[in-house]
């Protein structure tokens, strides 16, 4: 069961489940609502995945629903992950200490007994101190050449699409912004368009700065498209392809690229998150992370956890076959726990550090969070509504942060403010909802996100 089924296909699948003809239901998020009557086991693979949280109404977390479902049916559930969430890890420790929780089952060996790749951290600050750095550290550059010589394959990862994340005026510093969002427009060179990654707005790049009328506008920073170009220039005889949402939006392109990579028609695959997960190509012996800091620097309490997971996943693409793999992680934060622990293949060490960080700052699983987001086209109305919402919530929430502007202050012409509530870990969120019952400010949408995954 998945969202690409048509309504009639979905109905047919539901009927097969309901009649008992299908004994196993396999699916994405919404599969937890399959009409099973005799449930015996629930397996939640990649349990740490943020995609299990639905970000539109109804805002449910499929993992929480699946666990509740298993409890209702009195059957066991399995949460699988190579990089478990802190929530799962803590529950496993509770279980070990004899309290209600999870039982930890470890799989210490890699599939097919392959060895874990050797991971090298490349300190970009050192490169910058030495003068103008290229896109690759000297070590990564040499490793790419060696790997190409051996006719083995390479994945280069950068978690940012487009050619450049913004366009800047070299005279006055003005950034070209989206007219609908508080977000800079990215430059897409193949399409020669500026695009907003929040609302999809796009426009032709202007030769003239709207602020100072100067003519020295230039793309700034590096995205996957630019990495692809630089790889082609630096290793001109190599066969290169890119895989990201821009490429994959063309029907059939995803399958084309993956099949070309599988058959060895491509030497170097450049890509975003799409190349980090699940790819199993035994001839890939080198993975290069161009900049590990992109996800690390996001102002979100899950940034370090997501970065650790992403780096661990992408590192896991190297050396899956007989030949050993190598991974180079380029970073400006070579001592950060997300990077050090990913390089050491040490999720337990990372989770210990993360636990302390979350405990000190009062974040899950030590507190239950509720993010109340208010948005509307009229900013004063949003500000007033947020103030009133906070006044209603104060008596029922022990700890309340805000109201404050969201990190994404404006999206699709709507101004956004939010209030963060921190409750005890097992708190019932119902009183929060009750406090806002009947609260319907004119022209302002109020969203109550219990256990938010993203707080941007
Ligand atoms: Zn300017
Ligand atoms: Zn926009």
Domain stop point among 51, 67, 96: 96
| d(CA 177, ligand 1 centre) in Å | 13
* Same-domain pairing of 264 and 205: no
One domain, residues 374 and 420 = yes
Ligand at shortest distance from the CA of 202:
2
The domain boundary residue, chosen from 358, 387, 422? 358
Residue 240 sits in a domain whose CATH number is 3.40.50.300
What is the CA(189)–ligand 2 centre distance, in A? 18
Number of domains in the chain: 4
**Cα of 402 to ligand 2 centre, how many Å?**
25
Residue 2 falls inside a structural domain: no
Q: How far is the CA of 181 from the centre of ligand 2 (A)?
A: 4
Mark the ranges of the chain whose per-residue pLDDT is less than 70: 111-112, 127-133
Residues 239 and 148 in one domain: yes
- How many residues are listed for the chain in this entry? 456
144 with 271, same domain: the answer is yes
Q: Which domain holds residue 194?
A: 164-221
Ligand 2 centroid from CA 275, angstroms = 26
Claim to verify: residue 294 and residue 329 sit in the same structural domain? yes
By the 8 A CB rule, do 61 and 448 touch?
A: no
Q: Show the DSSP H helices in 238-336 as ranges.
A: 245-248, 253-262, 293-296, 303-315
Residue 205 makes CB contacts below 8 A (sequence gap 6+) with 167, 176, 187, 192, 193, 194, 217
Are both 344 and 301 inside the same structural domain? yes
Give distance in angstroms: CA of 212 to centre of ligand 1: 4
Q: Which residues contact 93 (CB under 8 A, 6 or more apart)?
A: 101, 104
User: Nearest ligand, CA of residue 173?
Assistant: 1
Distance 182 CA to ligand 2 centre (A): 7
> Could you tell me the two tokens for 235?
């290793």
| 136 and 212 fall within a common domain | no
Looking at all shown ligands, the one closest to residue 167's CA atom is 1
Distance 232 CA to ligand 1 centre (A): 32
CA of 273 to the centre of ligand 1 (A): 33
Ligand nearest to the CA of 213: 1
Q: What is the CATH number of the domain that holds 415?
A: 3.30.70.600
Which own/partner contact pairs does 182-190 have at CB distance under 8 Å and 24+ positions apart? 182/408, 182/409, 182/410, 182/411, 183/408, 183/411, 186/161, 186/162, 186/223, 187/162, 187/163, 187/219, 188/162, 188/163, 188/225, 188/246, 189/163, 189/219, 189/225, 189/226, 189/229, 190/163, 190/225, 190/246
**In a shared domain, residues 127 and 239:** yes
216 with 229, same domain: the answer is: no
Tell me whether residue 393 is in a domain.
yes
Percent of the chain with pLDDT over 70: 98
Same-domain status, 310 and 423: no
Residue 26 resides in a domain? yes
In a domain, 102, yes or no: no
Residues with CB in 5 Å of ion ligand 1: 169, 171-172, 174, 209, 211-212, 214
Whether 108 maps to a domain, the answer reads no
118/259 same-domain check: yes
In a domain, 1, yes or no: no
C-alpha of residue 333 to centroid of ligand 2, in Å = 30
* Residue 439 domain flag: yes
Determine the distance separating the centroid of ligand 2 and the alpha carbon of 167, expressed in angstroms. 15
Whether residue 107 is contained in a domain is answered as: no
What is the structure's pLDDT at 133? 59
Rg, Å, the chain Cα set: 24
CA neighbours within 13 Å on the CB side: how many for 91? 18
**What's the 411 CA to ligand 1 centre distance in angstroms?**
24
Closest ligand to C-alpha of residue 171 is 1
* 286 alpha carbon – ligand 2 mean position (Å): 36
Q: Which residues contact 260 (CB under 8 A, 6 or more apart)?
A: 241, 266
410 and 315 co-located in one domain = no
Q: Looking at this predicted complex, what is its ipTM?
A: 0.97
Residues that place a CB less than 5 A from ion ligand 2:
178, 180-181, 196, 198-199, 201
Residue 182 CA to ligand 1 center (angstroms) comes to 18
């Amino acid at each position: 069961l998945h969202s690409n089924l048509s309504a009639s296909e979905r109905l047919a699948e539901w009927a097969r489940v309901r009649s008992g003809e299908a004994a196993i239901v396999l699916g994405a998020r919404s599969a937890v609502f399959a009409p099973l009557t005799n449930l015996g086991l629930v397996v939640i693979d990649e349990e740490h995945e943020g995609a299990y949280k639905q970000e539109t109404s109804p805002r449910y977390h499929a993992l929480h629903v699946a666990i509740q479902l298993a409890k209702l049916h009195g059957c066991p559930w399995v949460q699988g992950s190579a990089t478990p969430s802190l929530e799962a890890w803590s529950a496993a420790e509770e279980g070990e200490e004899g309290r209600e929780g999870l039982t930890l089952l470890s799989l210490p060996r890699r599939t097919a007994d392959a060895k874990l790749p050797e991971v090298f951290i490349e300190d970009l600050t050192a490169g910058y101190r030495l003068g103008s750095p290229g896109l690759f550290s000297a070590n990564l550059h040499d490793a790419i050449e060696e790997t190409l010589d051996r006719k083995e394959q390479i994945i280069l990862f950068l978690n940012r699409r487009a050619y450049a994340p913004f366009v800047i005026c070299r005279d006055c510093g003005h950034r070209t912004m989206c007219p609908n969002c508080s977000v800079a427009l990215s430059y897409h060179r193949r399409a020669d368009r500026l695009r907003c990654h929040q609302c999809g707005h796009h426009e032709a790049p202007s030769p003239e700065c709207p602020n100072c009328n100067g003519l020295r506008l230039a793309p700034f920073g590096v995205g996957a498209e630019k990495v692809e170009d630089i790889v082609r220039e630096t290793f001109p005889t190599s066969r290169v392809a890119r895989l990201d949402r821009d490429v994959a939006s063309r029907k059939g392109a995803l399958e084309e690229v993956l099949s070309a990579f599988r058959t060895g028609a491509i030497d170097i695959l450049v890509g975003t998150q799409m190349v980090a997960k699940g790819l199993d190509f035994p001839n890939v012996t080198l993975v290069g992370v161009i900049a590990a800091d992109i996800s690390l620097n996001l102002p979100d309490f899950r940034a370090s956890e997501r970065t650790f997971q992403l780096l661990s996943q992408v590192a896991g693409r190297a050396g899956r076959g007989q030949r050993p793999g190598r991974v180079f992680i380029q970073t400006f934060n070579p001592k950060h726990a997300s990077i050090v622990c990913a390089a050491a293949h040490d999720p337990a060490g990372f989770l210990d550090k993360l636990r302390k960080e979350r405990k000190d700052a009062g974040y899950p699983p030590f507190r239950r969070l509720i993010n109340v987001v208010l948005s509307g086209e009229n900013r004063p109305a949003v500000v007033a509504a947020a103030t009133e919402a906070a006044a209603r919530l104060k008596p029922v929430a022990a700890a309340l942060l805000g109201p404050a502007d969201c990190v994404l202050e404006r999206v699709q012409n709507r101004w956004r403010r939010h209030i963060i509530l921190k409750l005890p870990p097992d708190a019932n969120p119902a009183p929060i909802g009750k406090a806002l019952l009947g609260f319907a400010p004119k022209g302002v949408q109020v969203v109550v996100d219990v256990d938010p995954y993203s707080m941007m």
